[in-house]
Amino acid sequence: MANIKDSLFRAGILLIAWSAVTMLVTNLLFCAGVTVHLITLIVSFMIAAAGTAALLKWNIKETVLSSVITAVMFIVMTFMGSLLFDISYDSNTMYKTAIALMAKGWNPMRTHAQDAIDGYFGVHSSWNTAYTGKWISNYANGTWLFETYQYLITGKVNAGISFIWMYMCSALVIAIRYLKRMGLNGVTAIFAAVFLVFNPVTMAQCSTLYVDGPWMLMLSLVLLMLVYLIRTHYDLHDQEPWLILFLAFIAGSSMKLNAFAYSSVFLIVFYLFMLYDARREMTRSGWLKISCFCWLCAGFTVFGTGLSIYGKNIFWYGNLFYGFFGSGAEDIIAAGQIVPAFTDMPTWKSFLISMFAESSGSIRSDVMMKLPFTVKADEINAFLSPDVRVGGFGPWFSGIFIIAMVLIAANLNRLSGRYRTALLLFLGLSFLMACVLPGSYWLRYVAFIYFITVIAYALCKNRIIRIVFGILLAVNTAMCSYGSMTKMLNTLMYRDHIRQVSELPSKNVYVAYTQTGGLIDLEDYGIEYQIVETAEEADFVCPTYLTRPVE
């Protein structure tokens, strides 16, 4: 049994290493003018397996077994994902299009996405490819790079849905192992890891290509490793937590611009904490190694796993976070997306209101305050969208958060000085970022706030209270899972839509809101179509969803 657990744990590390190496190698090849090929995925796997085994001193048997588990999990989940359909707006406007274009030879280091879209689909008067192209070209693309290979294997662009499933498996086994090492008993560690991984964001997005879930999982591993390193007095001889921290940082930071910003802030602040905490016991050589490690995290992200985004943004626009901060940010991130009630409201106020308001997925809805632990059917239905604007951590999160803060306050004094300081530092930093960074009312953008509830669960020593609190977390997450589970169950309905389209005598399609991802779905199922400029000329509108015949 122990061998199986160890093998699963090693496979979890290897999977993250594989994804990070794939991002790195693909970006370097883009610079050389080489586009995506399956051989790159295979070579990246070999590099990841050999490198991880060498650094962590795995023997041949451990390396082979972990590699087999990783490969089997990848293949099985990839083909399972290919059976589903992602019906979300952003995925059909951008994510699927980016994946398909790269699979068909687009090189983001050489050609702007708008030109690639116009070249592949043609120029159409009703399309806003300038907006779509800007998002695809300048937004973090780590998940898309890996998912492109899944598309090449299956011929179905929706196969990439399974990327988050693989990351959830990896994060789960790693979190369980390290929570146990930090002193939690087996049952508490398992449930804490489950609540950390199966959270409202990941569960709301687990049937989509959205990137918030995967980067939230990587950020959770970054924070978990930082806490573990504080516990072990920054042991430089144990390379495993340092490697997991490095991989989680560079992989997660390559998936979303604000993920890089947040991870960097946490890394810098905890680095300064380490400087102070170990000022008397750390050698000059030790400090040099830790300092170099932090620079490597940033360097590998900008000029490695995120080269086709961060590096390109520097060279093309002189702005590392182009599209998120500075010139161009409003067009790519916030245009038309701000909840009207929050337009002229201070960031801290909109953030707090969003936490204690009814969950709503529409930017047109009024923001309604509510009593903790109350819920309406409309709130659960809001999670049919993976992109809930208000109350995004679930209908019960406001009450859960209040209990979490009480539990943390009640258990604070029993923590050792360094743990207590680190916890207060994390809480203060989290609230500071949430209260000053634009758009934080969109709670999936400040995913680290949710970690506070998991910390409270782990700290609670009263068994009855911990069980009740765990039930509240589980029920809240279950309500957030409603949309994803519903969409998975509706797969047969989407397949029926595809069949109906295939039987139409003519297939004139009007693409609404530049949702070219729906066209990719048609191509994946061998359906030839003709794009028309108006809905009146069309036999069906794509993809509302998957297609809606024009009445």
Specify whether 195 is located in the same domain as 60. yes
CB 167 within 8 A of CB 216: no
Q: Return the percentage of the chain with pLDDT > 90, whole number.
A: 57
Amino acid type, 546 = L
CA distances from 91 to 23, 136, 184, 266, 337 (A): 20, 11, 39, 29, 16
**Number of domains, the chain:** 3
Q: Does residue 540 lie within any of the structural domains? A: yes
Give residue-wise pLDDT tens across range 501-515. 888 888 888 888 788
Place of tokens 């609230």: 431
State the average pLDDT for the chain: 89
Q: Does residue 512 lie within any of the structural domains? A: yes
Q: Tell me the average pLDDT across 262-282.
A: 86
Provide the token pair at 303: 């000029």
Specify whether 412 is located in the same domain as 527. no
Q: Tell me the average pLDDT across 46-73.
A: 97
Write out the DSSP string of 130-164.
HHHHHHHHHS--HHHHHHHHHHHHHS-GGGGGGHH
Specify whether 273 is located in the same domain as 417. no
Q: Tell me the average pLDDT across 384-400.
A: 90
Specify whether 475 is located in the same domain as 501. no
Q: Is 124 helix (H, G, I), strand (E, B) or coil?
A: coil
At 469 the pLDDT is 98
Last residue of a domain, one of 487, 521, 538: 487
CB 520 within 8 A of CB 549: no
**pLDDT band at residue 551 under the 50/70/90 scheme:** low
Q: Does residue 510 lie within any of the structural domains? A: yes
Q: Tell me the average pLDDT across 350-377.
A: 85
Place of tokens 């930071």: 253
Specify whether 207 is located in the same domain as 66. yes
Q: Taking 60 as the threshold, does the pLDDT of residue 315 lie above it?
A: yes
DSSP state of 549: E
Q: Taking 60 as the threshold, does the pLDDT of residue 333 lie above it?
A: no
Specify whether 452 is located in the same domain as 508. no
Specify whether 207 is located in the same domain as 288. yes
Q: Does residue 459 lie within any of the structural domains? A: yes
Last residue of a domain, one of 487, 506, 533: 487
Last residue of a domain, one of 445, 470, 487: 487
Q: Does residue 134 lie within any of the structural domains? A: no
Q: Does residue 377 lie within any of the structural domains? A: yes
Q: Does residue 56 lie within any of the structural domains? A: yes
**pLDDT band at residue 549 under the 50/70/90 scheme:** low
Provide the token pair at 463: 């068994």
Q: How many CB atoms lie within 10 A of CB 531?
A: 19
Give residue-wise pLDDT tens across range 285-308. 888 888 999 999 999 999 999 999
What is the spatial distance between Cα 212 and Cα 256, in angstroms, rounded to a whole number? 8
CB 350 within 8 A of CB 442: no
What is the spatial distance between Cα 141 and Cα 133, in angstroms, rounded to a whole number? 13
Give residue-wise pLDDT tens across range 154-175. 999 999 999 999 999 999 999 9
Sign of CA dihedral 178, 273, 195, 482: negative
Q: Does residue 403 lie within any of the structural domains? A: yes
Specify whether 385 is located in the same domain as 453. yes
- Surface-to-core class of residue 340, CB atoms within 10 Å of its CB (0-12 exposed, 13-18 middle, 19+ buried): exposed
In this predicted model, which residue has the larger pLDDT, 519 or 491?
519
Q: How many CB atoms lie within 10 A of CB 317?
A: 15
Specify whether 281 is located in the same domain as 305. yes
Place of tokens 């950020």: 219
Specify whether 263 is located in the same domain as 292. yes
At 241 the pLDDT is 96
What is the spatial distance between Cα 98 and Cα 79, in angstroms, rounded to a whole number? 20
Burial readout 476-512 (b: 16 or more C-beta within 10 A, e: otherwise): bbebbbbbbeebeebeeebeebbeebeeeeebebbbb
At 413 the pLDDT is 87
Provide the token pair at 318: 């002189």
Sign of CA dihedral 352, 321, 108, 22: negative
Q: How many CB atoms lie within 10 A of CB 332?
A: 18
Q: Is 235 helix (H, G, I), strand (E, B) or coil?
A: coil
Q: Tell me the average pLDDT across 111-137.
A: 88
Specify whether 269 is located in the same domain as 382. no
Provide the token pair at 526: 């061998």
Q: Is 394 helix (H, G, I), strand (E, B) or coil?
A: coil
Give residue-wise pLDDT tens across range 473-490. 999 999 999 888 888 888
For residue 264, give its domain range.
2-86+161-317
What is the spatial distance between Cα 97 and Cα 82, in angstroms, rounded to a whole number? 16
At 443 the pLDDT is 80
Specify whether 262 is located in the same domain as 384. no
At 330 the pLDDT is 53
